[in-house]
């Protein structure tokens, strides 16, 4: 995982404000109050495995508040899973409170108000999931938030152990392996959360999961080909286009939408990569299979709420 921010070297009066600007930009909109503003220290690392985003934050003691006025953000389409690696994190949502210690896990829905508290020198792993990916396994998650998963169940132990292994692997896995890890993690979390709430879970069958993994792997392998189409992906995975789309419907997507989403994600990664700042926006778009810059700009803005050129300017400013 790469370091996104550290307060080391910053003036004490600026540390907390800079920290909050990074959190609001890269993770979620919220308000926060540090226990000791001028003594505040923090560090943020980030990475990803497939469609799962990881954030590892170490900080001084602070309280956070996410209210209704923070809704309507991209995070609304995500779900957050928290697990302390050191210290404690307290969460409150939907009338429930969870005091998480290392190895304990809890879910938070950013569409709804919630509060939290980080203890002094806490280090907390935040796993950011696509909402639809977990809800397709669990259904509505309203009664699952701020409900701690402990080592008291085998499912809870497995989920926590799997989460703890993710940070060192971010950025090191091949695309097919990332797809497999993502599927396994979602299934484990669904099983553990369902167990905690005594709810039935409906993960896909192993056969469907295998086909889904092959579809994702085929797309990643052929993504840069501008002539890539849904028939080629389905054929590479050994299934019909109709069957492929039926399986991907579990994730509320299709072959066409998945190809476009992965191309857009690769373009965004390239636009934000300091080592690729010498490449033009059009060079990156064409390199990942887009043939029309107007279409690319519209799709990029629809996906990320920003034009590709503005994304590049922001990345240069951060660098």
| Fold classification of 2-196 (topology level) | Jelly Rolls (2.60.120)
CATH 2.60.120.10 domain range(s) in the chain: 2-196
- Helix, strand, coil % (nearest 5) of the chain? 50, 20, 30
Is a pLDDT exceeding 90 seen at residue 218? no
Reported confidence tier of residue 199, pLDDT bands at 50, 70, 90:
low
Query: What is the fold, at CATH topology level, of the domain defined by 206-318?
Result: Arc Repressor Mutant, subunit A (1.10.10)
SS3 track for 172-233: CCCHHHHHHHHHHHHHHHHHHHHHHCCCCCCCCCHHHHHHHHHHHHHHHHHCCCCCCCHHHH
Tokens of 19: 């920290």
Site of tokens 């799962």: 52
Q: Taking 60 as the threshold, does the pLDDT of residue 286 lie above it?
A: yes
Nearest-angstrom CA–CA distance, 130 and 128: 7
Summarize the confidence of residues 48-67 as an average pLDDT. Answer: 95
- Check if the beta carbon of residue 63 is closer than 8 Å to that of residue 117: yes
What is the CA 183 to chain-centroid distance, rounded?
13
pTM higher than the cut 0.75? no
Token pair belonging to 257 = 């939408």
Residues 226-275 pLDDT 10s: 889 999 999 888 888 998 998 888 778 899 999 999 999 999 999 999 89
Name the E strands within the chain. 2-6, 31-34, 42-49, 52-59, 62-66, 78-86, 89-93, 96-100, 106-108, 114-118, 122-130
Average pLDDT taken over every residue of the chain? 89
Picking from 33-37, 60-64, 251-255, which range would have the lowest pLDDT averaged per residue? Answer: 251-255
Name the region of 96 (left: φ>0; alpha: ψ -120 to 50; beta: rest): beta
Give the pLDDT of residue 210: 66
9 secondary structure, DSSP code = T
Degrees, nearest 5: CA angle 106-109-113: 110
pLDDT for residue 96 is more than 50: yes
Residues of the chain with CATH 1.10.10.60: 206-318
From the CB of residue 171, how many other CB atoms can be counted at a distance below 10 Å? 12
The CA distance from 74 to 301, in Å, is 12
Among candidates 265, 245, 263, 247, which has minimal Cα distance to 255? 245
């Amino acid at each position: 995982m790469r370091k996104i921010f550290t307060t080391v070297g910053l003036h004490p009066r600026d540390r907390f404000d800079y920290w909050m600007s990074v959190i609001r930009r890269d993770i979620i909109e919220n308000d926060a109050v540090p226990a000791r503003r001028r003594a505040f220290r923090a560090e943020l690392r980030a990475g990803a495995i497939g469609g799962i985003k990881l954030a590892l934050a170490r900080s001084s003691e602070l309280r956070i508040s996410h209210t209704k006025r923070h809704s309507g953000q991209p995070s609304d389409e995500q779900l957050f899973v928290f697990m302390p690696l050191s210290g404690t994190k307290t969460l409150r949502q939907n009338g429930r409170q969870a005091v998480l210690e290392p190895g304990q896990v809890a879910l938070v829905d950013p569409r709804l108000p919630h509060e939290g508290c980080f203890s002094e020198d806490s280090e907390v792993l935040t796993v950011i999931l696509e909402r639809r990916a977990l809800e397709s396994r669990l259904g509505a998650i309203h009664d699952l938030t701020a409900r701690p998963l402990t080592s008291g169940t085998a499912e809870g132990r497995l989920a926590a152990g799997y989460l703890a292994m993710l940070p060192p692997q971010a950025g090191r896995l091949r695309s097919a392996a990332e797809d497999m890890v993502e599927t396994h993690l979602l299934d484990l979390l669904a099983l553990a959360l369902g167990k905690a709430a005594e709810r039935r879970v409906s993960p896909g069958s192993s056969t469907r999961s295998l086909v889904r993994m092959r579809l994702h792997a085929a797309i990643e392998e052929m993504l840069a080909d501008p002539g890539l189409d849904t028939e080629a992906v389905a054929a590479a995975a050994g299934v019909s286009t109709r069957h492929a789309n039926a399986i991907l419907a579990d994730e509320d997507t299709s072959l066409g939408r998945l190809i476009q989403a992965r191309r857009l994600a690769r373009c965004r990664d390239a636009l934000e990569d300091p080592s690729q700042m010498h490449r033009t926006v059009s060079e990156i778009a064409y390199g990942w299979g887009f043939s029309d810059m107007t279409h690319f700009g519209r799709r990029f803005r629809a996906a990320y709420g920003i034009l590709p050129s503005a994304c590049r300017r922001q990345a240069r400013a951060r660098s």
